[in-house]
Amino acid sequence: MKRALALALLTLLPLPALAQATGDLGLVVERASGSLLLVDRSDRAALTRIEGLGDLSHASLTYSPDERFAYVFGRDGGLSKVDLIDRKVVARTMQAGNSIGGAISDDGRLVAVSNYEPGGVKVFDAGTLAPVADIPAEGKTIGLVDLPGRRFAWAVWDTGEVFTGDFSGAAPVVTSLGIAGVNPFDAVLTADAHTYLVGLFGEKGVMSYDLWSPETPPQKFLTDYGKTGEDMPVYKMPHLQGWAFTEGQFALPAVGRHEVLWVDSETHADRGATPVHGQPVFIIAQPASPYVWVNFATPLNDTVQVIDSRDHKVVATLTPGKAVLHMEFAPRGAEVWISARDDDRVLVYDTRTREKLAEIAAKAPSGIFFTARAHRPGL
Amino acid sequence: MPKLALFLAILPGMALAEIAPEQAARLEHIVTQDCGSCHGLTLRGGLGRPLTTEALAGADPATLATIILDGVPGTAMPPWRPLLTEEEARWIADYLTTKDQR
């Protein structure tokens, strides 16, 4: 009884203004309930749930430079600004009918959203979420990343065209980089902002753009990969945000195959393939290590594998839970947090022992985003 | 009045292919989660078009079941035959075309 009273009081009292440091916090997307779980990395615990964010399937988010605010890109076109200290949504706009992701400019002033319906890129003031620019496209935009100098890059699924947009001046300057190929499904920027890789779904291959010397013609690679074998149906689009760059190589998901592909990051020469448990979805490099971690598309999505990038061998196979959707590393690599959607759990693993350290209850968790992302380009 | 309620309660069940309740729950889960990864969790569209009852108005469930089993060649819509039986695909097609009326 006393307990119930205390609980009731707790829920009635307004939350005190907490002066909590945010450097070890993170947000977990709870896709079915339209909520975010605020987590503390050091305590390996959930702090609170932030609700009212709409349709969060496929949702992603990015952080302000001071790691106080998260910009959440919902599938339903909602753009929400969440305050990690006051633990609530502080601004929200329905900016399109259907959107897929976004990015924040290098100076933290602009937030760009990539939309499916109507297609295009919309840019907002990071402070107020007031609209700043609207760049229509002839189709669904994908692979939006930030480039240095208040610029962004993106591609269009329907036409295959790739663009950069410069928002540093009074009016935006949009430049076409040409056609990457048939149906680009995602794109990613290397951490040095040198190479923009555009993965193709409608044909074999990956197009590589040299953003340091834009006059260099783009290079297509992996074009004849697997032409002999029969490809399997793709039940989940692989993500490229997680493409790993390690040991001078790109580790790429083979679309429609149970393989991770290794490509020389300088010459784009084929460096081999690793047979894996299923169709890779995310391939993520464990920071400060030679390892990459891979999760898989349904129905083989209860498993995570660890591959050594030096010899391309699988060194560990874990089964963290049902429907593993995402993995996020502590910025220095000591831990990895793994979401198991159908177990309603986030699992914390030690990356050295690969033993489970903790479990955190979450409602159908998908993406996990630590605030350290605030300081990484292309995220 | 009670008669009407009874009628309403039975109708959806009759419209759907013969599937045990626990299996129906599994299929519903597949629709939201797995189809939802391309068509949107609320099925209002993503990379794939909307699959709301409204968007599918007038569509023939048998045709939809075939699309689900065989996919749409040349697009990202994969064939689900390796993962679903014909009965299951038909149940999903019926479910998609009626669910917002229930």
The complex's ipTM works out to 0.72
Strand arrangement, sheet containing A280-285: A280-285, A291-296, A304-308, A313-318
CA-based nearest residue in chain B for residue A33: B41
Q: How many CB atoms lie within 10 A of CB A259?
A: 20
Q: Average pLDDT per run of 10 along chain A, which is 379 residues long?
A: 51 57 96 92 97 83 96 89 96 82 95 90 96 94 95 96 96 96 90 90 89 92 66 72 73 87 90 94 92 93 96 97 96 97 97 98 95 87
Residues on chain A bordering chain B, Cβ-to-Cβ distance under 8 angstroms:
31-32, 55-58, 75-76, 97-98, 100, 116-117, 140, 157, 183, 185, 201, 233-237, 298-299, 323, 341-342
For residues A198 and A142, give the distance between their C-alpha atoms in angstroms, rounded to a whole number.
10
For residues A171 and B46, give the distance between their C-alpha atoms in angstroms, rounded to a whole number.
30
- How confident is residue B8, by pLDDT bands cut at 50, 70 and 90? very low
State the best of A53, A235, A239 to mutate against chain B, taking most chain B CBs within 10 Å.
A235
For residues B37 and A283, give the distance between their C-alpha atoms in angstroms, rounded to a whole number.
18
pLDDT score of A260: 93
Higher per-residue pLDDT: B15 or B89: B89
pLDDT score of B11: 39
Cα distance from A171 to chain B (closest Cα, Å)? 30
Bridge-based pairing of strands A291-296 and A280-285 is antiparallel
Which amino acid is residue A48, in one-letter code? T
* CA distance between the termini of chain B: 18
Spatial CB neighbours of A170, under 8 Å, sequence gap ≥ 6: none
For residues A191 and A63, give the distance between their C-alpha atoms in angstroms, rounded to a whole number.
17
Q: Do A235 and B41 touch (CB under 8 A)?
A: no
For residues A191 and A141, give the distance between their C-alpha atoms in angstroms, rounded to a whole number.
22
- Please give the sequence-ordered ranges of beta strands (E in DSSP) within A211-342, or none if there are none: 219-221, 244-246, 249-253, 259-264, 270-275, 280-285, 291-296, 304-308, 313-318, 324-329, 335-340
pLDDT score of A242: 56
For residues A223 and A206, give the distance between their C-alpha atoms in angstroms, rounded to a whole number.
7
pLDDT score of A52: 86
Q: Where are the alpha helices (DSSP H) in chain A?
A: 2-12
Q: Do A98 and B36 touch (CB under 8 A)?
A: no
**What structural domains and CATH numbers belong to chain A?**
100-227 (2.130.10.10)
Report chain B residues whose CB lies below 8 A from the CB of A55: 40-42, 44
pLDDT score of A110: 97
Contact B41, A57 (CB under 8 A): yes
CA-based nearest residue in chain B for residue A75: B40
Report chain A residues whose CB lies below 8 A from the CB of B84: none
Report the largest interatomic distance among the alpha carbons of chain B, rounded to a whole angstrom.
Answer: 51
pLDDT score of B3: 39
Q: Which residues of A19-34 are buried (b: 16+ CB within 10 A; e: fewer)?
A: eeebebbbbbbbbbeb
Tell me the three state secondary structure of residue A347.
strand
What separation in angstroms does the CA of A10 have from each of A3, A7, A14, A365?
10, 5, 8, 26
pLDDT score of A322: 96
Give the tens place of pLDDT for each residue, B53-84. 989 988 999 999 999 999 998 888 999 998 99
The alpha carbon dihedral of A198, A200, A201, A202 has a sign of positive
pLDDT score of A226: 54
**What structural domains and CATH numbers belong to chain B?**
20-101 (1.10.760.10)
For residues A142 and A161, give the distance between their C-alpha atoms in angstroms, rounded to a whole number.
11
A–B CB contacts, 8 A cutoff, strictly below: 66
Q: Do B38 and A237 touch (CB under 8 A)?
A: yes
Residues on chain B bordering chain A, Cβ-to-Cβ distance under 8 angstroms:
29, 32-34, 36-38, 40-42, 44-47, 71, 76, 78-80, 82-83
pLDDT score of B4: 39
For residues A323 and A300, give the distance between their C-alpha atoms in angstroms, rounded to a whole number.
8
